[in-house]
């Protein structure tokens, strides 16, 4: 699943220097999209098809109810979280119902060096992703890095995804651990998009228990081999902080999966900038 990428009011960055012509680079504001929706029921009356984006709602005539919530913060450690759940409470005939939550974060990125024009520079990119699912649940997410270029044309640089549980194709993995050196261009615009989705759906069969979760966490740095590193500045959209902690000893994907389960159990946010994490459960 791909969520809409929204880049809002831009920050203008003017790059000038001895070897570089004056250039104005547009860095889009960070855009947060959070949606936690509970859907329940499939019956023939209006009460059987209610949905909510916040709070609690009676979902169908057999006594099921649903609740959902979402949180978005733009602080030194960016964090986006959503959760939701649905349950049947009266012990009557189980109805088809489900819950879904999704969140995304898009922001701009540039490698500024006023002493050069547009040229390759070796970067180190680390990104971890982990999705979990149990029962009739699902979790999915992705990390995209797109070069926009001086004329606005888009070039896909990285596209990493995860999927666990229902709705996944055979070639999708539930985790990734990316740590590679890659050439990116100086004084050129990039857009980073992180997205996560989790949910569960019951088709009416009892007993029912399902849950899902998803986490994406990236980090960017100049490679240690780059000469004169002080000439370069990594610039992100306002509010985005690219924290360098533990990049040299990043956990393996399996470790991230266990950490994700721990985050959900404790109900706490992760520590790194530009992280996306959500979980949602539905139960009978």
Inside any domain, residue 160? yes
Q: 3 in a domain, yes or no?
A: no
In a domain, 2, yes or no: no
In the predicted structure, residue 249 carries a pLDDT above the cut 50: no
Report the pLDDT value the prediction gives residue 229, as an integer from 0 to 100.
Answer: 96
pTM of the model: 0.70
Angstrom CA distances, 160 to 7, 76, 163, 204, 220, stand at 20, 25, 11, 34, 15
The answer to whether residue 156 sits within a structural domain is: yes
| Total domain count, the chain | 1
Separation of CA 206 from chain center: 32
Answer whether residue 5 is part of any domain.
no
Flag whether pLDDT at 128 surpasses 70.
yes
Task: Give, as one character, the DSSP assignment of residue 238.
Answer: T
Query: Model confidence at 230, in pLDDT bands (50, 70, 90)?
Result: very high
Instruction: Say if 110 falls within a structural domain.
Output: yes
Q: How much is the pLDDT for 54? A: 41
Q: Which residues constitute the domain of residue 202?
A: 10-283
Residue 62 domain flag: yes
| Of 246, 218, 248, nearest in space to 234 by CA | 218
């Amino acid at each position: 699943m791909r969520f809409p990428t929204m880049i809002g009011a831009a920050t203008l960055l003017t790059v000038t220097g001895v070897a570089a012509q004056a250039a104005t680079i547009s860095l889009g504001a960070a855009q947060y999209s959070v949606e936690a929706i509970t859907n329940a029921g499939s019956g023939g009356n209006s009460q059987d098809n209610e949905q909510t984006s916040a709070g609690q709602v009676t979902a169908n005539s057999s006594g099921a109810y649903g609740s959902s919530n979402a949180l978005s913060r733009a602080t030194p450690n960016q964090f986006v979280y959503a959760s939701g759940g649905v349950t049947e409470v009266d012990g009557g005939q189980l109805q088809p119902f489900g819950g879904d939550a999704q969140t995304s974060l898009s922001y701009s990125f540039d490698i500024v060096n006023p002493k050069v024009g547009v040229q390759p520079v070796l970067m180190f990119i680390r990104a971890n992703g982990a999705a979990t699912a149990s029962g009739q649940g699902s979790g999915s997410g992705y990390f995209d890095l797109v070069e926009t270029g001086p004329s606005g044309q888009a070039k896909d640089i990285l596209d990493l995804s995860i999927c666990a549980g229902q709705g996944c194709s055979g070639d999708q993995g539930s985790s990734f651990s990316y740590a590679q050196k890659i050439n990116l261009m100086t004084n050129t615009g990039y857009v980073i998009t992180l997205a996560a989705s989790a949910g569960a759906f019951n088709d009416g069969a009892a007993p029912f228990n399902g849950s899902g979760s998803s986490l994406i966490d990236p980090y960017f740095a100049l490679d240690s081999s780059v000469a004169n590193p002080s000439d370069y500045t990594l610039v992100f959209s306002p509010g985005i902080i690219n924290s360098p902690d533990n990049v040299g000893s990043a956990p393996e994907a399996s470790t991230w999966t266990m950490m994700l389960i721990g985050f959900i159990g404790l109900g706490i946010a992760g520590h790194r900038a530009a992280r996306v994490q959500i979980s949602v459960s539905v139960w009978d």
